[in-house]
Amino acid sequence: MINYEMKYRAFQVRNFREIPQIEALSEEEKQNIEIVGNVFPFKVNNYVIDELIDWDDYLSDPIFRLTFPQKDMLSETDFETMKKALDENVDRKTLKTIADSIREKLNPHPAGQMELNVPKYQGEELHGVQHKYKQTLLFFPSSGQTCHSYCTFCFRWAQFVGMDGLKFAARETEQLLGYLTEHHEVTDLLFTGGDPMIMSFKVFKQYVEPFLDPNNGTNIQTIRIGTKVLGFWPYKFLTDKDAQDFLDLFKKITESGINLTFMAHFNHENELKTDAVKEAVRLIKQTGAQIRTQSPLIKNINDDADMWARMWRKQVNMGMIPYYMFVERDTGARHYFEVPLEKTWEIFQKAYQQVSGICRTVRGPSMSCTPGKVQILGVSEIPINGIFQKVFVLQMLQGRNPDWVNRPFYAKYDPNARWMDDLKPAFGDKFFFEDELEEFYETANYNEEFA
Ligand SMILES: *Cc1c(COP(=O)(O)O)cnc(C)c1O
């Protein structure tokens, strides 16, 4: 049933005890949420609470774990430090200092995002823009840098906790247009965040409208919207007051000849079960927009091959296109969420083998790391010095240098490897791209502020 009275309401660390269902939790469980929720961003809304989480079994519910901070996300020491601070009722400033010192240890800015990918326009750095791969520009509109609910595993978590200098902010659509006018290699503009679909219609329209003008001087052919709105707030397109305005604008975009694609973030099949999400998907598709889906593989939430196969099938049945499976990134509470690379590949393979070719548009598992998007093709055995040895076979789906893409390469087998920097070349002492990457570092427009 779709609740046509639905109005958005969010809960955060300061008021989550007002959530009616939270009464089912013990006082200790509530305190744990409070302790961890003071380090990592925490926000959850009424749709997630009322329609997605199964409160009869919340402890093993994937959407509960996806949105409510979990005790084991912090190490025992950090947990105790934060617990003590809260027990002692320290002032807000001290609390933030303590929280920041814990955050600093958790690699808040993975994969050189800050130093290496900020382009320049007319001598000035374009903050709020990342240009890593030739054809696609990431744009972080300043008013799209929050979400309807936060994911506990979020790799952009540091943006939401107010650490100094860490927030990308886009000031000017004008600057963006200027840059794109000079960079006709860019065909895709990817609005990301946060969640650009948190923006009101009035604001969103301002960013998009220039691209509807065929004489805007850019070569943008595809507008992508990286969003979790379908998983966390499908009522955006059903009951929010500007729902119809959004749908009308999407239609206007597709009718202008621009390919509009939602890069929809779904982590679990349970996010596809409600009438609200089904209706929102139907309405968006009706505008002529496409919906492609992506998610990382995350322990304690979706590390189950059969679930992935069902999820991809359901997405296809709803008219969506599976796109990427990612490896959980090397940031935040990674010890709680990460799955070793070999296991990740096994889950991908086992899921992939269960679905027809229509679902096999999905690619992965992929690591978004400094050189590019590195896909794990699998574990194989090849003779090294006459002896058969296990290796990881890898390739890049995207590369900082396009020439690196689609070249198979090999890493030593390591059952515990969890990320690119755990991998060693199987032959020689360097991966084929390392020298060039080194040069990149040296010439990059390195920003001291974020060092
Ligand atoms: C993933 C990603 C893109 C988009 O890559 P596609 O393979 O075209 O979907 C663009 N920029 C960055 C920095 C990315 O990580």
pLDDT in tens, the chain (451 residues): 899 999 999 999 999 999 999 999 999 999 999 999 999 999 999 999 999 999 999 999 999 999 999 999 999 999 999 999 999 999 999 999 999 999 988 887 775 555 668 888 888 888 788 999 999 999 988 888 889 999 998 867 777 665 544 444 345 688 899 999 999 999 999 999 889 999 999 889 989 999 999 999 999 999 999 999 999 999 999 999 999 999 999 999 999 999 999 999 999 999 999 999 999 999 999 999 999 999 999 999 999 999 999 999 999 999 999 999 999 888 878 889 999 999 999 999 999 999 999 999 999 999 999 999 999 999 999 998 889 999 999 999 999 999 999 999 999 999 999 999 999 999 999 999 999 998 877 776 544 333 2
* Confidence (pLDDT) at 300: 93
* Confidence (pLDDT) at 114: 57
* Confidence (pLDDT) at 391: 97
Which residue's alpha carbon is nearest to atom 10 within ligand 1? 136
If asked whether residues 323 and 418 sit together in one domain, one would say no
- Which of 364, 398, 433 corresponds to the end of one domain? 364
If asked whether residues 48 and 136 sit together in one domain, one would say no
Number of domains in the chain: 3
Which residue's alpha carbon is nearest to atom 8 within ligand 1? 136
375 Cβ inside 6 Å of ligand 1: no
If asked whether residues 64 and 208 sit together in one domain, one would say no
* Within a domain: 270: yes
* Within a domain: 408: yes
Is the separation of the CB atoms in 406 and 373 below 8 Å?
A: no
If asked whether residues 169 and 43 sit together in one domain, one would say no
Q: Which atom of ligand 1 is nearest to the CA of 130?
A: 13
CA of 368 to the centre of ligand 1 (A): 8
- Domain enclosing residue 451, as ranges: 369-451
- Which of 335, 364, 393 corresponds to the end of one domain? 364
Which residue's alpha carbon is nearest to atom 15 within ligand 1? 368
* Within a domain: 280: yes
> For 400, phi and psi rounded to 5 degrees?
-55, -35
CA of 143 to the centre of ligand 1 (A): 21
131 Cβ inside 6 Å of ligand 1: no
* Separation CA 61–CA 52 (nearest Å): 9
* Confidence (pLDDT) at 450: 35
* Within a domain: 300: yes
* Confidence (pLDDT) at 107: 82
* Within a domain: 33: yes
If asked whether residues 148 and 74 sit together in one domain, one would say no
Instruction: Tell which one of 114, 190, 262, 440 to mutate to probe ligand 1, the residue whose CB is within 8 A of the most ligand atoms.
Output: 190
If asked whether residues 351 and 381 sit together in one domain, one would say no
Q: Which helix (H) or strand (E) holds 261?
A: strand 259-265
If asked whether residues 351 and 389 sit together in one domain, one would say no
* Within a domain: 335: yes
Is the separation of the CB atoms in 141 and 196 below 8 Å?
A: yes
Prior bond of 378 cis (ω within 30°): no
43 Cβ inside 6 Å of ligand 1: no
If asked whether residues 197 and 331 sit together in one domain, one would say yes
* Within a domain: 4: no
Given CA atoms 8, 14, 19, 21 in this order, what sign does their dihedral have? positive
Q: What predicted TM-score, i.e. pTM, was given to this entire model? A: 0.93
Is the separation of the CB atoms in 81 and 103 below 8 Å?
A: no
Residues 6+ apart with CB under 8 A from 435: none
* Confidence (pLDDT) at 158: 72
Q: Which atom of ligand 1 is nearest to the CA of 117?
A: 13
- Which of 309, 343, 364 corresponds to the end of one domain? 364
Radius of gyration of the chain (CA): 22
If asked whether residues 354 and 238 sit together in one domain, one would say yes
If asked whether residues 403 and 256 sit together in one domain, one would say no
If asked whether residues 274 and 327 sit together in one domain, one would say yes
* Within a domain: 3: no
Task: Report the b/e string of 111-141 with b at 16+ CB within 10 A.
Answer: bbbbbbbbeebeeeebbbbbbbbbebbbbbb
If asked whether residues 24 and 167 sit together in one domain, one would say no
